[in-house]
Copies of this chain bind each other. A is one copy, B any other.
Amino acid sequence: MVNKEETWYSHWRHAFKLDPDKQLTEEALEQICMSGTDAIIVGGSSGVTFENIVDLLSRIRRFEVDCALEVSTLEAAVPGFDGYFVPLVLNTADATWINGKHTAGLIEYGRFVPWHITAAQGYIVLHEQSTVAKLTQAETQLSKEQVVAHVQMADRLMRLPIIYIEYSGTFGEMEIVSTVQKTVTEAQLFYGGGIDSVDKAKKAAQFADTVVVGNVVYTDLPAALATVEAVLAKSY
């Protein structure tokens, strides 16, 4: 990572994404928080409420790990996180998901936003069957050239601090992620989707600045925990 900006999340190589709408035992949560991961990101595409976020945050707060909220709806922007991500979907024709919901939310909550720990994420959503793709009507069938254009738009023109390649529910095409890595100049590159093994974690870590591990936490915790070392062991 060369010449990139220092931010509250710029040192993150590995993060777990936890869904406030899903259940985790205390023991599982402790293992996740004590795993050596750089951060926990709280967020989900459905069933997210102020109450279930407060609940999950208070449980994570017993540990020292960084904890950020991905704000999918400003109504559920719970105070007390170390930082806040505001996702924008880049590959949709529906401006609702680019800046529509965001400006609507800012009218009500804009004066409460802790801007110095708030960052926009430019999502490129690439798995057609994912909840987020359906919700946002993302145009997931993109050529490499189309992905590059979205990255140039977001990284060079909009100057979004983060580009997030999202294959939620499936492991993505690493050739696409590699192309994005070569294209991006200033933004931090997040990758998420389908990481359920050391092997996949290592592959994604080759190209992404930050590897996000989600669903496998709920289906195979030991496999999820093993991704931490796989990513952090990457040599730079």
Q: Does A118 contact B (CB under 8 A)?
A: yes
Determine the chain B residues whose CB is within 8 A of the CB of A90 once the complex forms. Answer: 99, 103
A107 touches B161 (CB 8 A): no
Q: Mark contacts of A85-105 with chain B using CB atoms, 8 A cut-off: 1 yes-contact digit, 0 otherwise.
A: 010101011111011101110
A157 touches B95 (CB 8 A): no
When the two chains form the complex, which single residue of B92, B148, B159 contacts A110, counting CB atoms closer than 8 Å? B148
Complex: A110 Cα to B153 Cα, angstroms:
9
Copies per assembly: 2
Determine the chain B residues whose CB is within 8 A of the CB of A110 once the complex forms. Answer: 148-149, 152
Determine the chain B residues whose CB is within 8 A of the CB of A118 once the complex forms. Answer: 156-157
A106 touches B149 (CB 8 A): yes
Q: Does A120 contact B (CB under 8 A)?
A: yes
Determine the chain B residues whose CB is within 8 A of the CB of A100 once the complex forms. Answer: 93
When the two chains form the complex, which single residue of B104, B106, B158, B185 contacts A158, counting CB atoms closer than 8 Å? B158
A153 touches B93 (CB 8 A): no
Q: Mark contacts of A12-51 with chain B using CB atoms, 8 A cut-off: 1 yes-contact digit, 0 otherwise.
A: 0000000000000000000000000000000000000000
Complex: A121 Cα to B185 Cα, angstroms:
19
Q: Please, which residue of chain B has its CB at the minimum distance from the CB of A156? A: B115
Complex: A119 Cα to B107 Cα, angstroms:
27
B158 touches A120 (CB 8 A): yes
Q: Give me 28 A-to-B residue pairs in the complex whose CB atoms sit less than 8 angstroms apart, sorted by A's number.
A: A86-B157, A88-B158, A90-B99, A93-B94, A93-B95, A93-B96, A94-B95, A98-B98, A99-B150, A99-B153, A99-B154, A102-B149, A102-B153, A102-B157, A103-B146, A103-B150, A106-B148, A106-B149, A107-B148, A107-B149, A110-B148, A110-B152, A115-B156, A120-B157, A120-B158, A158-B159, A159-B159, A159-B160
6 new A-B contacts, CB < 8 A, other than A99-B158, A110-B149, are: A95-B98, A103-B150, A106-B149, A107-B146, A110-B148, A115-B185
